[in-house]
Structure 1
Amino acid sequence: MAFHHTQKAFRTILDALSFPGKINQLDKSKNDMEPFDSRTALVCETLLDSEVTFHVVEEGQSFAHILRVFTGSHLTDLDKADYVIIPEQTSVDRVVDSLSVVKIGNLVNPHKSATIIFEVGSLLKGYHYELIGPGIKTKNELHCTIHPEIIEKRREINAEYPLGIDFILIDSQGNVVGIPRTTQITEVM
């Protein structure tokens, strides 16, 4: 039964990354992975396994232990992690500093970059952003609580395509949005 649950979540995450800015809805995890939000837990259960590594920004040992137990994935340093999980309560400065050291791939292996699993307060209100790029007909708009300094840091990191990072944004209402490295995102004033 859990397999079907993560299969559905995988299709939802894939749809979110295929159509940047489209708000998709995630179910709650069937496992209690406190202190993670239930939807963040489901994304981690779906994407992390024994073949990948992870790092939790602002983590305590309990975060890492919980993820290892439920996913079989391996904890590593921030600059080596395949997946970086950023809890909602993480400060803007800490997020920007963390993004400065995540792996962005190289020209031979651009896919060897980090995917950022990012908890945000809301994907329905907050700052106003415009998204353009593959998977978007003309432009998409996104209102979310992710701070513009973080978006600017992402833009700097992703400036030399195909190098860069992908974002998976999750809010506590179960909304998920994918922002792959190919998507340009700018704040609308």
Structure 2
Amino acid sequence: MNDSIIASQFREPVHDSQATFRALLSATSRPGTIIDIPSPTTSPAPLGSALTAIALSLLDDTTPLWLDAALNTDSVTNYLRFHSGVRTVSDPREAMFGFFSCADTLIDFDRFNRGDSFYPDRSATLVVQLPSLTGGRPVSLSGPGIETETSVAPAGLPEGFWTHWNENAASYPVGIDLVLADQRSVLGLPRTTKASIS
């Protein structure tokens, strides 16, 4: 077996996986808050450190995963399959999670399962790799988990992203949830969060 598949994981697998999971819960319950997560020892390129940590914490053989074209490589799929047992799917609507190497192809949320009025919890969560969670165009977020408003400025989002995001939020209780990640931190955007462009 290829050593690159089995060698790289968390330094303390149980502790770091649990810490990452708690960080994701915190980021989701406090939208717009940037939270650092543990880094695995290495990551299979082009899957960044934070996306690798999220995968190691969330994925298993019951969580079908869709990967964008850049991530859908033998090195990434073999690594994820070895460490989590996850099954990858080619149809986005079959995925519980969708992983993106960048946000360029993110806008069409309707490609993914948005849940329905009976089972809104069956919608997909999309995890998107960005160059940075700061330094982009500022927007104000509001909604559950935010006392009044909070400002965020993730870099690397495509033009029109926030308009499409608000359309997603307006369809609540159905809709997708989003996790944005750079190399070391995460920012949660549940479907209940609305954005106002500054």
TM-score (normalised: structure 1): 0.90
Residue identity (%): 27
Unaligned runs of 5+ in 2: 1-11
Equivalent residues in 2 for 1:28-67 (5 A)?
28-58=39-69, 59-62=71-74, 63-67=76-80
Q: In structure 1, what is the equivalent of residue 131 of structure 2?
A: 121
Q: In structure 2, what is the equivalent of residue 162 of structure 1?
A: 173
Alignment match of 2:96 (pick from 78, 82, 85) = 82
Displacement, 1:80?
1.1
| CA deviation profile, 1:10-44 (whole Å, cap 9, x unmatched) | 11111100100011111211353332111110011
CA contact (8 A) 2:99 2:127 kept: yes
Alignment match of 2:118 (pick from 104, 108, 115) = 108
Q: In structure 1, how many angstroms separate the alpha carbons of the residues matched to 2:31 and 2:150?
A: 8
Equivalent residues in 2 for 1:8-23 (5 A)?
8-23=19-34
Q: Which is worse superposed, 2-11 or 155-164?
A: 155-164
CA contact (8 A) 1:104 1:157 kept: no
Displacement, 1:151?
2.4
Unaligned runs of 5+ in 1: none
Instruction: Please give the secondary structure, in 1, of the residue aligned with 2:46.
Output: coil
CA RMSD between the two structures: 1.5
Specify which structure has the higher proportion of strand: 1
Matched to 2:107, the amino acid is: V
TM-score (normalised: structure 2): 0.86
Q: In structure 2, how many angstroms separate the alpha carbons of the residues matched to 1:132 and 1:166?
A: 15
Matched to 1:137, the amino acid is: E
Q: Which is worse superposed, 21-30 or 111-120?
A: 21-30
